[in-house]
Chain A
Amino acid sequence: AQTVTQSQPEMSVQEAETVTLSCTYDTSESDYYLFWYKQPPSRQMILVIRQEAYKQQNATENRFSVNFQKAAKSFSLKISDSQLGDAAMYFCAYRSPPNKLVFGAGTILRVKS
């Protein structure tokens, strides 16, 4: 069974600084997708970024980027120029056929002003 591990229960970052959230996964599949979701106190899950396993280039969305290391099965999220609105729970997730999305336990990100 596929598993997703987030080893950092909680992280803190100073406003405007950069923070990296870690994620590793276990799979024997070759075709899969990886996602980072953000969950603010409102409970609404929001997609931050996604990465196709067949692409070597790391995905980037504005201040958010990933470091995808397929051989190491690692998928970290880097948030640059952190803002107060980035404070939330962040979940790493994995998806492959037959399409079940598997989540990690989450990392709480606190942003200090």
Chain B
Amino acid sequence: GAGVSQSPSNKVTEKGKDVELRCDPISGHTALYWYRQRLGQGLEFLIYFQGNSAPDKSGLPSDRFSAERTGESVSTLTIQRTQQEDSAVYLCASSPPGTVSNVLTFGAGSRLTVL
């Protein structure tokens, strides 16, 4: 597609439920990132996929968070047993193969509200 697509745009869930957030990167982009942005705050790195390499999961805040990506296509971020502190906008970004100079293109984010 022309841009990074994320769904759902907004998700309201009850505490304790599981949620899945989806990211469809730009075609041909081998790198994919997930970030979390709490209200009025900066972006927290969660996880990074680069091609077929092992993902960098160093930013995942707890074992309730996991993410998968099949090849260079869609990624899903799963949050199990959601807590109120999980409420945030979850941003996905992708970038083409190459060097560190490549710019990330961001999606519009998925806003998660845990009641």
Contacts and interface: CB of A to CB of B under 8 A. Distances in A.
B42 A91 contact: yes
A102 B58 CA distance: 13
A101 B89 contact: no
Contacts of A32: 100
A96 B100 contact: yes
Nearest to B107: A44
A106 B31 CA distance: 24
A79 B63 CA distance: 42
A102 B33 CA distance: 11
Contact of A31 (B43, B100, B103): B100
Interface residues of B, number: 21
Size range of the chain A interface in the assembly: 20 to 34
Interface in B84-106: 89, 91, 93, 100-101, 103-104, 106
B100 A99 contact: yes
A91 B43 contact: yes
Nearest to B106: A45
A42 B48 contact: no
B50 interface: yes
B45 A100 contact: yes
Contacts of A100: 33, 45, 48, 56
A105 B93 contact: no
Contacts of A52: 101
A42 B43 CA distance: 15
A24 B59 CA distance: 22
Nearest to A103: B43
Contacts of B31: 99
30 contacts: A31-B100, A33-B101, A35-B103, A43-B89, A43-B91, A43-B109, A44-B106, A45-B93, A45-B106, A47-B103, A50-B101, A50-B103, A52-B101, A91-B43, A97-B100, A98-B50, A99-B31, A99-B48, A100-B33, A100-B56, A101-B33, A101-B45, A101-B93, A102-B45, A103-B35, A103-B42, A103-B45, A105-B41, A105-B42, A106-B41
